[in-house]
Structures are given as structure tokens and as C-alpha cells.
A and B are shown apart, each in its own frame.
Chain A
Amino acid sequence: MDIRYYLFLSLALFVIGIMGVLTRRNAIIVFMCIELMLNAVNLLLVAFSKMHHLAAGAGASTVGSEGQLFVFFIMVVAAAEVSVGLAIIVMLYRNTHSVDVNFLNRLKH
């Protein structure tokens, strides 16, 4: 299949994620949208990895494998980020009984 389909799909997912981050006010949903962005990247990396692999021909069996390795690193780092991020959101909920991002801005003044 043409690489452009994968590119458009993952860009669409990525843009949905960005729109979510910019418009939603619930911290957990914002967080989920960020995860969506990361997963769009994962998809794209795997697609590019396959593309480079096919382009290199049958002889070069390891070409393109680093793209898939990168995906594992993204997953690990995303997991670390989730654990810290959820802890921060729980801490916030304990203090304010809300996970609304706007709530904090109102506190400032």
C-alpha cells in the first residue's frame, strides 16, 4: 500500500490529538490526547520503517529496523510519563477536588 495512506492516517490522528490538547479542559482527557499524539507517531515510525526496508531490497534485512526500535523507546518513555502525570493529576484532585485545567487559572488572581 502507498506510504501516503499511512502518513495521512497518522497525521489525522496527530491533529486530533493536538486539537484535543488545545480545546479540552479536563486534565485526564488532555492527557489522553497527548497519548494519541504519541501513538500516531508510533504508527508513522513503523510505516516508514517498513517503507525503508522495502526500498532497500531483499538483501539488506536490517535496514529500517531502527524505526521499530524507536517505537519501543517511545512506549517505555510514555509509560514513565503516564506514571508521573497521573500522580500529578491525583495530587491536584486531592487538593482541589477537580481535574479541570481552567480551575487553576482562576486561582491565580
Chain B
Amino acid sequence: MNTLILSALSGVVMMFSGFLLGSRSAVRTLAHILLLVVIAGTILELRGIEIVHIDTRGMMVFDRFALMFMLVANLCTFAFFALSSKDMERVGSNYSDYFALIFFILSGIVLAASFKSLLILFLGIEIISIPLYILAGSDKLNLKSNEASLKYFLMGAFSTGLMLMGIALVYGASGSFDTTTIHATQAVPALLVAGMMLLLFSMAFKASAAPFHFWTPDVYDGSPTVFTSFMATVVKAAFFIAFMRLFSDAFSGLAPQWKLLVSIMVALTLFIGNLTAVFQQSVKRMLAYSSIAQAGFMLLAIYSLNSDAKEGLLLYAAAYSLATIGIFAVLVKMKDQSFEGFNGFARQHPVVAGALVIFLLSLAGIPLTAGFISKFYMLRATIDGGSLGLAIFAVLMAAVSVYYYFRLIQSMYFKDAGNAVEVPISAGFRATLIVLAALTIVLGLFPQLLTSWLYF
């Protein structure tokens, strides 16, 4: 509850800071401080201290899993602020409002991570989505940004419609919005299964799993790069946490009805994401497809739904978000966002290029990085969950992904004569990148740093 209240209040404060504070650097500092307060609130709550106690009437549950994810999401947002908040200035003139919207998204993430009633799920997903429509279109004069925003809005609203129909049908079958009551519904009437299917499709839409992924590349490519970084990482992970919570709390009893469908979805998502990423010329578009591919891996957690999958999803969210935020932060500063734009980058900025290599290795799942260990957890969960074939297919697809991640490394290190970065890289930026890269390695060596918090 601390996180929810603090982040919503921070959003309101940021809205006012626009005209109360004179300079943009003051707004930026305030946003950093407020986010630190939110993080402190989350840590307090993990230790069992609540600032205000609110009876949610069983509509929300703040268990370890939800709290740990909130902490991961807030920390990743902090990394995002530290790396990219300066670049947000170049998007448009409403600088403080961008921070306000991001804080509102964070409060939506709290709802989506801790819901116990489908009402809270719906509200959480909408509170995440509506600010994102605005952020996607924040570059108002850019047609690509307009397109991204409109497409995201229409697809988002459409999938919300599907989700609501699903919720209504589930309510008709079980007589309650409470996930435990839905789980306890004994008979399996057609209404419940139909509602579950609609919820599955709409969550797949939101989490951009194939065959509902078609909006993702255009939206991620068209949105301003700073905001793509946020929506492809923290927000996507939040949708997956909500997805997993919904299916483990409410529909795990219906597993025979959805398991095959989800496994087909996983295979399709991995296949389409990885294969199309290979053919991309722009790094931003490649990352958009790579986010679809990584979504396939995260879907494995929903397929298997055991304790390994829970730990794995948490780790995956952290590993994937850290690495992608780092890569996007560098990409924002590039003049040419194609692979050629990175030619000779290692010679100009050896430290930044070194950090990028670690992020790319983590995304590709090379041992010693967080990406490897989280993929390992996912695969172990899948094999325990009963599908060796799916795990083998996922490993094959991860091998394909090595190609396009290493292509970026190749152009940074083995090609010369690149054009310079657009925005100068400051020492603070470099230091933050090094910290993120170090975190990626530390998480890869000691994943229990994160997962053991789930139990003690």
C-alpha cells in the first residue's frame, strides 16, 4: 500500500512541479528524490511496516511476490531515470508531465501486481495503459509518434474491451470477481471457459505475445526512444506479472483448457520474434522484435506456473529490464539508429561499448549474466511443468537470438569509421551504465540475492 500511495502522490506533486519549479533540472532532481521515497516505502513494506493501513476488503494482497516485483520495477525505473531523464527534455516541452505520467504508471503497476479481484486487475491495466498512450504520442509533431500513439490506443482499447467481456463472462459463471472464488468454482460451464479465453487473448495482446503482437514493432518504433525504453521493459514485465497472477490465482484449475493454447503461443512468439529480429536494419526495431522474443520466454512462466516459474519471472523481469534500459539509453544518444550507426563505436567510447556488450550478452543468455540464469530458471520450470519439447525449442530460438545481438557487437568492435554520438556522454552516465552492467553480472552469479527475498 505504501508504494501505491507514495507513487500516486508523487505523480500529483510532479504535475504541480511544472509551474512551481523554475528550471528543468529542479524538476528532474525532484523526480529522482520522489522515486527514492517510493523505493524506500516499498522496502519498508517488505519489512512489514505500513505508513497507513488501509483495509482493501480482500481486493488486493501484498504478498512477497507482488512487493518484490514492485521493488524491481521501481529500481528499474530509477535506473531509467538516472540514464535517460535528461534525454526526455528533447521529446517535447511538457517535461514535468512526463515524470507525472511515469509515476501514475508505477501506481498502476502496484495494482496490476497485487490484485485479488478482477476489478483491480482492470483498473491497474488501464492506469498503466492510458498514460502510455500519451507518452507514445508525446512527440506531437512527429507523424511516426502520432501513428504509434493512435495504434497503441486503438489496440489497447480493443483489448480492454475483450478483457472486460472476459471478466463479465467469468462473473456470470462464478458470481464473483474474487480470484479465489473463481478458482473454487466447481463446475466448468462454457461461460467460464469462454471468459477465460477472452482474458487470455487480451492479456496476450497487452503483453504482445504472438499472434497478437502485430502492433508492437510499429508502436515501439514510432514512440520517442526514451519512452520505448520504459514501455518495453518495466511496463511489459508488469503485464506479465499480472498475467501470471491471474492465471495462477484464478484459472490454474482450468489448466487442461488453456495449457495447449499457451504452449502454441509461446512457440509462435519465440519463432516470430526471433526470426523477424534477424532481418531488421534499425537497432530500435530489432529491439522491438527482441522484446517480443523475450516475451516468449516470459510466457514460459505462465505455461508452467510453479515456484521456479515465479522466481524465474521475477529474475527475468529484472535481467531483461536492466539490459534493455541500458541499451536504449545509449541508443537515445545516437544520431543514426541503424546497425551502421554503431560502426566503430568501441573505439570512440570503450567503456560504454563494454557495458553494451554485457547487456547484449545478458539478453542473448550467455552464462555469467543475469539473462542466462533467468532463462535457466524458465527452462527448468518448463521441464518440471511437463514439456521438454517446448524447452528445447526455446533453447534453439535463444541460439537464433545470438545472431542479431552479436551483430551489434560486431559493428561496434570490428567495423571502423562510425559517425559520432549526437549527445555527449557524461561521466555520470558512464558510471550508471557501469553500475547496471555490474548488477547484471552480480545477479547472474548470485540470483538468490533476489529470489531468496521471496521466502524470508
Contact = CB atoms under 8 A, between A and B. Distances in A.
Contact of A104 (B133, B134, B150, B176): B150
B154 A30 contact: yes
A34 B177 CA distance: 23
A70 B120 CA distance: 10
A81 B147 contact: no
Interface in A90-108: 91-92, 95-96, 101, 104, 107-108
B17 to A, nearest CB: 22
Interface in A51-109: 51-52, 55, 63-64, 66-67, 69-70, 73-74, 77, 80-81, 84-85, 88-89, 91-92, 95-96, 101, 104, 107-108
Contacts of A92: 146-147, 150
B150 A38 contact: no
Given A48-B168, A84-B153, A91 B137 contact: yes
B380 interface: no
Instruction: Please classify how large the interface on chain B is, using the bins under 10, 10 to 19, 20 to 34, 35 or more.
Output: 35 or more
A95 B143 contact: yes
B221 to A, nearest CB: 9
B111 to A, nearest CB: 12
B18 to A, nearest CB: 18
B134 to A, nearest CB: 6
A36 B218 CA distance: 26
A38 B147 CA distance: 24
A73 B130 contact: no
Q: Is the interface of A mostly helix, strand, loop or mixed?
A: helix
A77 B126 contact: yes
Contacts of A81: 126, 130, 157, 160
Contact of A70 (B119, B137, B154): B119
Interface in B142-159: 143-144, 146-147, 149-151, 153-154, 157-158
Interface in B259-277: none
A14 B149 CA distance: 24
B165 A37 contact: yes
Given A41-B161, A80-B130, A66 B146 contact: no
Interface of A: 3, 7, 10, 14, 17-18, 21, 27, 30-31, 34, 37-38, 40-41, 44-45, 48, 51-52, 55, 63-64, 66-67, 69-70, 73-74, 77, 80-81, 84-85, 88-89, 91-92, 95-96, 101, 104, 107-108
26 contacts: A3-B172, A21-B158, A31-B157, A38-B161, A40-B165, A45-B168, A66-B119, A66-B176, A67-B171, A70-B122, A70-B177, A73-B122, A74-B164, A77-B122, A77-B160, A80-B130, A81-B160, A85-B153, A88-B133, A91-B140, A91-B146, A95-B141, A96-B143, A96-B146, A107-B147, A108-B147
Interface of B: 119, 122-123, 126, 130, 133-134, 137, 140-141, 143-144, 146-147, 149-151, 153-154, 157-158, 160-162, 164-165, 167-169, 171-172, 175-177, 218
